Amino acid sequence: MSETNPLYKLFYKEDPYLNFPLKEDAKLEGWHSDHPVFKELILQFLPKTIIEVGSFKGASAINMASIIKEFELEATIFCVDTFLGGVENWDLGCPEIENSGWTYDMLDWKNGRPDIYSTFMTNVINASVEDIIVPIPNTSLNGYKLLEKQNITADLIYIDGSHEEEDCYNDIFYYQHLLTKNKGIIFGDDYGSTGVKQAVDLYVDTYVMKEDFFIYDNNFWIIRNK
């Protein structure tokens, strides 16, 4: 078990990892979580701070933390998530996702409530990256406000929360305020999802120069802050 990142004290009176009850059946699951884009952006920008909005079971955050350790970088990853899943996870008959019931089951239900926070924390501990990852189990908007109050800015911000257009747009709009000036990158997954694409396109059309917007591997969207 690693030492806990001391920045947890910005949000907690006690170490959230201390004596955490590990889940024996915790699975490290996600989508595109080990894509090369993470390593490329981390090695290019050498971030001191990364914010992830939408962490699910921790796969992408743990991947980024592992890259940070592999290259002996010093960085903190703040993971903002309700750990309750999105609309597409709860909807057993989601028309946009074939066999959508399996995403429902991935929420690790316990007594009528998703239990993926326990899964996330167990996965972080098992990967020994508590010294890098600070969990913020809250809504994306509240997470933004909490980080803003602490004057935290980030060189990389990864948006992978709600896929609903309004939610995704708001995540981009608010969190771009936390980007390091003249350096930061905000990027996200699932550009092929209707809601995400509409949100990203609307934001880009309104606020971003075309030369600062990129699509990577037909799936990841990237916006450069200048």
pLDDT in tens, 46-84: 999 999 999 999 999 999 999 999 999 999 999 999 999
Question: What are the residue ranges spanned by the domains of the chain?
Answer: 6-13+28-137+150-224
136-162 pLDDT, tens digit each: 999 999 999 999 999 999 999 999 998
As a whole-number percent, the residues of the chain with pLDDT over 70 amount to 94
Residue 190 near residue 163 (C-beta atoms within 8 A): yes
Neighbours of 182 (CB within 10 A): 8
> What per-residue confidence (pLDDT) applies to 33?
87
Mean pLDDT of the chain, nearest integer: 91
Predicted confidence (pLDDT) per residue in 123-132, tens digit: 999 999 999 9
Distance of CA 186 to the CA centre of its chain: 11
pTM, entire model: 0.93
Quote the tokens at residue 167.
């939610």
Query: Homologous superfamily of 6-13+28-137+150-224 in CATH?
Result: Vaccinia Virus protein VP39 (3.40.50.150)
Lowest mean pLDDT among 22-31, 89-98, 160-169: 89-98
pLDDT at 216 (0 to 100): 92
